[in-house]
Structure 1
Amino acid sequence: MQSLPAYFKYFIILASLVLTTYVLIVGKPIISPLITAFIIALLLRPLSNFLERGRINRGISAVLSILLVLLVLTGLFYFFSSQVGSITSDLQSIGERFNELLDRANTWMEDTFAVAQGEQNRYVKESLNSFLQNSTAAITGTLSATADFFTSFFLFLITLFFLLYYRRFFVAFLYKYFRPEQHPKVGATLHKVELVVRSYIVGLFSVILIVAILNSVGLLLLGIQHAIFFGVLAAVLTIIPYIGILVGSLLPILFALVTKDSLWYPVGVLILFWAIQFLEGNFITPNVVGGRVSLNPFAAIIALFFGGMIWGAIGMILSIPVLAIIKVICDTVEPLYPIGFLLDNPPIDDPDDPEKTPL
């Protein structure tokens, strides 16, 4: 390929990127659960090894590892469903407060913009009718999404089982694919991929725990109802890097606006989450996860938005570990060294050496 013209190589690379993106979009129902299962399998491999050293059958150890994942997911589902149930009991008082705020908003709109309340009510009714007319399509889409979720989840469980059960077989395949002199590099790459992914996930869980405690304590001090639920929910959303905690802060802000008589409460919640976001981005995550996954923040943000564009929320969650795996591979394969360098954190410039800082 070295003898090909530069423009021809450019079009080959561009076509490859477009084709890869197209395959990722079309193959999302299959590819996303496979990648998720691969990442979770790397996390669970030490547990499976530990169980097998205890003379437990490999298939049983894989099933027990999967049951642990299901137990964690069930615990989270039970926690959030029970909290939502307790919030539901407050809906009547919340509805009364919401109507009061709506009346105030109508009066303010009438005084400020000279829009009569009758005109406002007519607009609200038209919007409601439009929503009800489109409700059938919304329900159909929801049912379709639910069916797709369970299909993908079933594929995830099956893939996770076989990745754990046949893990040595798949590693043996990789060794057979490469020449014997490349086996040390293959082994080192596999070990580094596993270490990076496992360290990232463990570090992410640690960040979620710390942020959940900070969120819950802060909301409790502000006197916000269901503080633990809102605090844990916002912390769990940190699995979506950079924007997750901001999205998680919207619900407690709205809840404080509806349930409290003073605007200082939602403002206090906003300041609280801004402060925690600052701590999480500048101190907590860099110290807990930073040294384990060395990625350029700009590359991570691009990967985050690209993952969200092609796969939605699951793409945003998977973007950072997948990018970390790509960087490990680029650092190992010599022709890809420049890409691995670009994805890494940039070196600190020396202001005393102008040759190191030409710009």
Structure 2
Amino acid sequence: MTRSITLPLYAKICFILVTLLCFGFIFCIGKDIITPVLMAFLFAVLLLPVFTLLNVKLRIPRHIAAGMCVLLFAAFVIGILVFISYQVKEFTNDFDTVKKNINAFIVEIHKFVNENFHISIGEQKKYLDNVTKDSVKNSNASIGSVIISISDLLLDLTIIPIYTFLFLIYKDHFVLFLAKLVHKENHHRLKNILSQIKVSINNYIVSLLFEMIIVSVLTGLGLYIVGVKYFILLGLITGILNLIPYIGIAIAGVITLFASLTGTGESSIILSIFLVNLVVQLIDNNILVPLIINSKVEINAFVSIIGIIVGGAAAGISGMFLAIPLLAILKIIFERIESLEPWGYLMGNHVPRKFTWRMRRVKTQS
């Protein structure tokens, strides 16, 4: 007969924090191994409805159905990359025009600085030459790290589809393993947790794709109105990079400003592009994210920002991308375990009613 141990509140909080710190430490140490596994898990959950359709309803063998799902997903990604590469190939044909407009834009900046800050063009060029020399030295020192990053990216692109394939094949095996970890009377709770995790991750990824499409269309439309030549390519790149929190939109803005120089180097065009990106981001952050993303994962903004920052510090861009779905999984687990329910409520996006303390009066004996 098992006997439950009741711990005081401070001991429970200490155990929970120590456990989270241990998981975080393990993730930081083994991020190169754990990150591809988690990415493959998300993709496997996304592809699970297609796998179920092929395997259960169409009676296609598991291995073939899993292979077809991975190939369809890879074909979708490759199709987007081929379209982008085709557009980039056309963009390179205008490189001479870009170089000419960059020079004209730099001349305008030199004149502006000279007129407003009274710094001669010769002094400005001398300062830029010194900065360029220092940056060349630093870039030569970081070539090795860039090569290592590219090799890691190629390895991840190879191994993530394999992991996804294996997750789909051994789906029932993993579920049975989890069922063996808990008592039979808790199987219904485990089933509910797993189904909620599947729904939450599916909704989150589909919402991200929907948000990417809307941002791409809005950015492309705005750039078309402004008069940028490659508005389709730049809108698609902005939508894809917007999936990376914080830094993605900044990178997209730099690419857009650079690509705008294929037409003209006038500062008015650059200002118009900046306004287009600003308006799209305001729409995205104030309308799309609350309605599409936050309504699906139901995590408040405070926890989301902290999670993204911690994920970025632990595993870079991949960690930032994985932060929200991992927080959603933790929230679902916490809400369905009685001792952890307050932590799930803390992560949630609920708007509480006015809370009043209900104190019971104690009568004193005279």
TM-score after normalising by structure 1: 0.89
Give the letter for the 1:192 counterpart: Q
**Using the alignment, how far apart are the partners of 2:339 and 2:14 within structure 1?**
19
1:38 maps to amino acid: F
Q: Which consecutive residues of structure 2, in runs of 5 or more, have no partner in the other structure?
A: 358-366
Deviations 1:257-306 (A, max 9, x none): 78435433222222222222222223333333443221111111111111
Q: Does 1:32 pair with 2:31?
A: no
Give identity over the alignment, percent.
28
Encode CA deviations 1:185-231: one digit per residue, 9 max, x unaligned: 00111000000000111121111112211111111111111111111
Match of 1:154 among 146, 158, 163: 158
Query: Is 1:273–2:250 an aligned residue pair?
Result: no
Alignment of structure 1 residues 244-259 onto 2, 5 Å: 244-256=248-260, 259=263
Q: What is the rounded CA distance, in whole Å, between the counterparts of 1:124 and 1:194 in structure 2? A: 53
**86, 93, 96: which one aligns with 1:89:** 93
Q: Larger deviation: 192-201 or 278-287?
A: 278-287
CA change 1:9–1:184 in 2 (3 A) is closer
* Structure 1 position 2, deviation (Å): 5.2
Q: Indicate which of 184, 187, 203 corresponds to 2:188.
A: 184
Distance (Å, rounded) in 2 between the aligned partners of 1:103 and 1:241 = 34
Whether the 8 Å contact between 1:254 and 1:266 is mirrored in structure 2 is no
Shift of 1:37: 0.7
Match of 1:170 in 2: 174
Structure 1: where are the runs of 5+ without partners?
none
Shift of residue 44, structure 1, vs aligned partner: 0.8
Contact 1:246 / 1:273 at 8 angstroms: preserved in 2?
no
- What letter corresponds to residue 137 of structure 2 in structure 1? Q
Match of 2:60 in 1: 56
* Corresponding residue number in structure 1 for 2:363: none
Q: Which residue of 2 aligns with 1:133?
A: 137
Q: Which structure ranks higher in relative contact order (CA pairs < 8 Å, sequence separation ≥ 6)?
A: 2
Is the Cα–Cα contact under 8 Å of residues 70 and 165 in structure 2 kept in the other structure? yes
Deviates more, 1:124-133 or 1:186-195: 124-133
Return the letter of the residue paired with 2:308: L
What is the CA–CA distance in structure 1 between the aligned matches of 2:245 and 2:125, rounded to whole Å? 40
TM-superposed deviation, 1:16? 4.1
Letter in 2 for 1:355: T
| Residues 109 and 115 in structure 1, CA contact (< 8 A), matched pair in contact too | yes
Give the Cα–Cα distance (whole angstroms) in 2 for the partners of residues 246 and 118 of structure 1.
31
1:309 is the counterpart of 2:313: yes
Partner of 1:116: 120
Given candidates 72, 77, 102, the residue that maps to 1:98 is 102
Aligned to 2:364: none
Deviation at 1:331, TM superposition (A): 0.9
Q: Are the equivalent residues in 1 in contact too, given 2:212–2:240 (CA < 8 A)?
A: yes
